[in-house]
């Protein structure tokens, strides 16, 4: 178990991350504490709910391994940009396999209210 005490340690942890669940949590916590960021800021940057980030930090849940790699890569890029004194903003690109599929979020065509109205006619 690594101890991430500085931004340099965070950069190194992001570069050498090998899929460890504990290290993922530590990197998230270190990022939030060392940059003075809030969970809601990270949630906005990643395009997800704040409660999801809170569950990741607490260890109650974990993201898909592919998405873990995306999060670690983004934190690593931000750490590298900070080390070279460049500005960096998270990009909103998410792997295609993890995108929300609009086909799954189709509105219901016939709600019970609409069915009642159709019968009344």
Over residues 12-32, the pLDDT tens digits come to: 888 888 888 888 999 999 999
Is 74 within a domain? yes
Count CB-CB contacts under 10 A for residue 108: 7
Give me the domain span that covers residue 35: 7-95
- pTM for this predicted structure: 0.66
How confident is the model over 51-74, as pLDDT tens digits? Answer: 999 999 998 998 888 888 888 888
Is 82 within a domain? yes
- Torsions phi, psi for 50 (to 5 deg): -65, -35
Angle between the N-to-C axes of helices 39-46 and 65-83, in degrees from 0 to 180, rounded to the nearest 10: 110
Asked whether the beta carbons of 56 and 67 are under 8 A apart, the reply is no
Number of domains in the chain: 1
Q: Rounded to an integer, what distance in angstroms lies between the CA atom of residue 117 and that of residue 98? A: 39
Is 109 within a domain? no
Is 116 within a domain? no
Is 76 within a domain? yes
Q: What is the CATH number of the domain that holds 64?
A: 1.10.260
Is 121 within a domain? no
């Amino acid at each position: 178990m690594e101890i991430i005490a500085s931004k340099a340690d965070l950069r190194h942890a992001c570069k050498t991350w090998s899929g460890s669940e504990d290290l993922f949590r530590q990197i998230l916590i270190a990022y939030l504490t060392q940059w003075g960021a809030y969970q809601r800021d990270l949630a906005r940057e990643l395009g997800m709910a704040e409660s999801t980030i809170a569950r990741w930090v607490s260890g109650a849940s974990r993201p898909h391994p592919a998405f873990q790699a995306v999060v670690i890569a983004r934190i690593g890029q931000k750490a590298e940009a900070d080390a070279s004194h460049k500005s960096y903003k998270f990009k909103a690109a998410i792997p295609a396999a993890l995108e929300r599929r609009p086909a799954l979020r189709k509105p219901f065509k016939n709600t019970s209210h609409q069915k009642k109205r159709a019968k009344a006619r």
